[in-house]
Structure 1
Amino acid sequence: MQRFFIYLILFIAIFLLFGWYFSNITLYLVISLILAALLRPMTNQLNDFHLLGQHIPRWMAILVSYSSIVLLLVLLSFLFLPLINNQVIILSDLDLNTIYQEVRGPVSKIENFLFRYQLIESQPGYLFEELRSQLLETIKGIDFGAFISNVLNITSSLFIGLMAVLFITFFFLLENGLLRRNLLNLIPNPYFELSVATFTKVEKLLSNYLSGLLLQMLAIFSIASFGLTLVGVDYALTIGLFAAVANLIPYAGPILGASFGIIVGISTGDYTQNHELNFLLLKIISVFGVVQMTDNVFLQPMIFSKSVKAHPLEIFVVIFAGAKIAGVTGMIFAIPVYTIFRVSILEFYQGYKSYRIFKIK
Structure 2
Amino acid sequence: MQRFFVYLALFLVVFLAIGWYFSNIALYFVISLILAALLRPLTNRINEFHLVGQHTPRWIAILLSYAAIILLTFSLGLLFFPLIKEQISVLSQLNVETIYYQIQQPVTQFENFLLKFQLIDQKPGELFSQLQNSVLEAIKRFDVGGFISGIIGLTGSVLVGTLAVAFITFFLLLENGLLRRNILNLIPNSYFELSVATFTKVEKLLSNYLSGLLIQVLAIFSMAALGLSIVQVPYALTIALFAAIANLIPYAGPILGTVFGIIVGISTGTFASDQEYTYFLVKVLSVFAAVQLTDNVLLQPMIFSKSVKAHPLEIFVIIFAGAKIAGIVGMIFAIPVYTIFRVLIMEFYKGYKSYRIFKIKATN
Q: TM-score, normalised by structure 1?
A: 0.95
Matched, 1:298 2:302: no
1:44 aligned residue: 44
1:235 aligned residue: 235
CA change 1:107–1:323 in 2 (3 A) is: closer
Distance 2:294 2:149 in 1: 43
CA change 1:121–1:318 in 2 (3 A) is: closer
Report deviation, 1:130: 3.8
Matches within 5 A, 1:131-142: 131-142=131-142
1:314 aligned residue: 314
2:82 aligned residue: 82
CA change 1:62–1:119 in 2 (3 A) is: closer
Distance 2:278 2:331 in 1: 34
Letter in 1 for 2:153: N
Letter in 1 for 2:274: N
Q: Secondary structure at the match of 2:248?
A: coil
Matches within 5 A, 1:252-267: 252-267=252-267
Q: Secondary structure at the match of 1:232?
A: coil
Letter in 2 for 1:325: I
Matches within 5 A, 1:208-287: 208-287=208-287
Report deviation, 1:93: 1.5
1:70 aligned residue: 70
1:145 aligned residue: 145
Q: TM-score, normalised by structure 2?
A: 0.94
Distance 2:102 2:289 in 1: 32
Distance 2:281 2:188 in 1: 62
C-alpha deviations, 1:217-255, integer Å up to 9, x for none?
000000000010011111110011001100101111111
Q: Secondary structure at the match of 1:324?
A: helix
Report deviation, 1:99: 2.3
Distance 1:83 1:39 in 2: 30
Report deviation, 1:105: 4.5
Letter in 1 for 2:313: L
Distance 1:108 1:198 in 2: 64
1:17 aligned residue: 17
Distance 2:326 2:9 in 1: 23
Matched, 1:57 2:57: yes
Distance 1:127 1:187 in 2: 69
Distance 1:197 1:263 in 2: 50
Report deviation, 1:102: 3.5
CA change 1:173–1:282 in 2 (3 A) is: same
Letter in 2 for 1:192: F
Report deviation, 1:345: 1.0
Letter in 1 for 2:99: I
Letter in 1 for 2:15: F
Distance 2:114 2:253 in 1: 38
Matches within 5 A, 1:315-354: 315-354=315-354
Distance 1:339 1:249 in 2: 17
Report deviation, 1:111: 5.8
Report deviation, 1:301: 0.9
Unaligned runs of 5+ in 1: none
Unaligned runs of 5+ in 2: none
Report deviation, 1:286: 0.8
Matches within 5 A, 1:163-174: 163-174=163-174
Report deviation, 1:108: 5.0
Distance 2:98 2:150 in 1: 34
User: Which stretches of structure 1, 4 residues or more, deviate above 6 A after TM superposition?
Assistant: 112-116
Q: Secondary structure at the match of 1:176?
A: coil
Which shows bigger deviation, 29-38 or 273-282?
273-282
What is the identity percentage for the equivalent residue pairs of Structure 1 and Structure 2? Answer: 68
Matched, 1:201 2:201: yes
C-alpha deviations, 1:245-269, integer Å up to 9, x for none?
0010111111111111111111112
Letter in 2 for 1:355: Y
2:33 aligned residue: 33
Q: Secondary structure at the match of 1:250?
A: coil
Q: CA RMSD in A?
A: 1.8
Letter in 2 for 1:232: Q
